Amino acid sequence: MTATPPQATTSSALPPPSPNGSAPPLPPQAPPRRPTHTRISAIRTGLIVGVAALIVLMIFIIQNAHAVDISFLGAHLHLSLAVALLFAAIAGALAMAAAGTARITQLRRIMRRNRRNPQAS
């Protein structure tokens, strides 16, 4: 009975060195991951949402086309109900934007003052 010699096992997954003495080739690496959110994808998403909102707005205007009388601060208008509501929504958005801008400006002044005089805070 002849005993067979045990085979050598390697613990690493690297291939054995080549016979000419050069380093073994590196295993192929996965391509670098691309970012999932790009600026173009954000613009595209924004455009899709904007078009959807415009479609909803157009449906609203078409369904509320009858005219109404509006009196505001002595002004008397005869407008479509949808247009009047659209003007009211725009006025409300502008009022909120003005309040937000005032608050941001106030916070920036405070930050600038604290940067100049760090002991005062």
Task: Looking at the chain, list the stretches that DSSP marks H as alpha helix, in order from N- to C-terminal side.
Answer: 39-63, 81-116
Give the tens place of pLDDT for each residue, 22-74.
666 677 777 777 667 788 888 999 999 999 998 998 888 888 888 888 888 88
Is 31 inside any structural domain? no
Sign of the dihedral through C-alpha 44, 45, 49, 52: positive
**Whole-number percent of the chain with pLDDT over 70:** 75
Is 50 inside any structural domain? yes
Is 3 inside any structural domain? no
Is 97 inside any structural domain? yes
Which pLDDT value is given to residue 116?
A: 85
> Residue 20 pLDDT > 60, yes or no?
yes
How far apart, in whole angstroms, are the C-alpha atoms of residue 56 and residue 47? 14
**Number of compact structural domains in the chain:** 1
The answer to whether residues 59 and 53 touch, using CB atoms and an 8 Å cutoff, is: no
Is 74 inside any structural domain? yes
Is 18 inside any structural domain? no
The whole domain housing 74 covers: 41-116
Is 2 inside any structural domain? no
Is 8 inside any structural domain? no
Which pLDDT value is given to residue 66?
A: 86
The pTM of the full predicted model, rounded to 2 decimals, is 0.49
